[in-house]
Structure 1
Amino acid sequence: MYKDLADAVESLKEKGFDHVFELGEDNITCKSLKATYTTDELSIIESHNFDKGTDPGSESTVHAIKADDGVQGILVISYGKYVEPGKAKVIDRLLNTAD
């Protein structure tokens, strides 16, 4: 288990999850590769949740993700009332592909 989000991110990078994925309105992107993925093209390999106390805005999850084309990276998602509705739907689709 990781002590915090920074520890998890660093450890996952050492495991080869060296790209950073970002949520879009309808997809997930890797800006460094200028690549765009649908949730069907991605698999969650492992996930780690972090909650820093009573502030719901401080909850986050880091997902280690592998794309169908072999690209591996991380996606950090902060939860709470500030998540945009379009991005929340992308998160839901991604999590449902992990089932």
Structure 2
Amino acid sequence: MKQKFHYDTVSEAVTQLKAQGFTLDLNLKSNQFTAGDDVFHAEDFEIVDLYRYEGASDPADEAIVYALASPAGIKGILVSGYGLYTDEAAVQTLKQLHYKYQQSQL
């Protein structure tokens, strides 16, 4: 799926994605997504869309908003910073999801 929209801010992207049914607020730890007490295997999800934001003057403002979905119909949003303060296991998991996403774009 090609990116159809570009949102000016992270909060605008999150608001619009929630309106599209991406209601879970996902967090990534190693190779699992969590939403509250629920735990999901990351490999069960695909990136539906993503939006990258870069801070104009502060690298700490860099973030990626992921719209994620599973074949079981679970849809959520992951907001991830990138750069210096990332968990290496989480980085590897996101790389695998990015690879699947890129392959679906061909």
Normalised by the size of structure 2, how large is the TM-score?
A: 0.82
CA RMSD of aligned residues (A): 1.4
The 10-residue stretch of structure 1 (19-28 or 69-78) with the greater mean CA deviation from structure 2: 19-28
CA distance in structure 2 between the partners assigned to 1:51 and 1:88 by the alignment: 18
Please tell me whether residue 74 in structure 1 is matched to residue 77 in structure 2.
yes
CA distance in structure 1 between the partners assigned to 2:90 and 2:39 by the alignment: 17
Please tell me whether residue 93 in structure 1 is matched to residue 96 in structure 2.
yes
Given that 2:32 and 2:39 are in contact with CA atoms closer than 8 Å, whether structure 1 keeps it comes out as no
Given that 2:10 and 2:65 are in contact with CA atoms closer than 8 Å, whether structure 1 keeps it comes out as yes
- Could you tell me which residue of structure 2 aligns to residue 26 of structure 1? 31
| Structure 1 gap ranges (5+) | none
- CA shift, 1:84, in A, is 1.6
Matches within 5 A, 1:38-57: 38-39=42-43, 41-57=44-60
Give the match's secondary structure for 1:21.
Answer: strand
Q: Extract structure 1 runs of 4+ deviating beyond 3 A.
A: none
| Structure 2 gap ranges (5+) | 1-5
The superposition leaves residues 27-58 of structure 1 with CA deviations (integer Å, 9 ceiling, x where unpaired) of 222225x131232x111111111112132221
Matched residues, percent identical? Answer: 25
1:36 to 32, 36, 40: 40
CA distance in structure 1 between the partners assigned to 2:88 and 2:26 by the alignment: 18
Give the match's secondary structure for 2:57.
Answer: coil
Please tell me whether residue 6 in structure 1 is matched to residue 11 in structure 2.
yes
- CA shift, 1:60, in A, is 0.4
Normalised by the size of structure 1, how large is the TM-score?
A: 0.88
Given that 1:17 and 1:65 are in contact with CA atoms closer than 8 Å, whether structure 2 keeps it comes out as yes
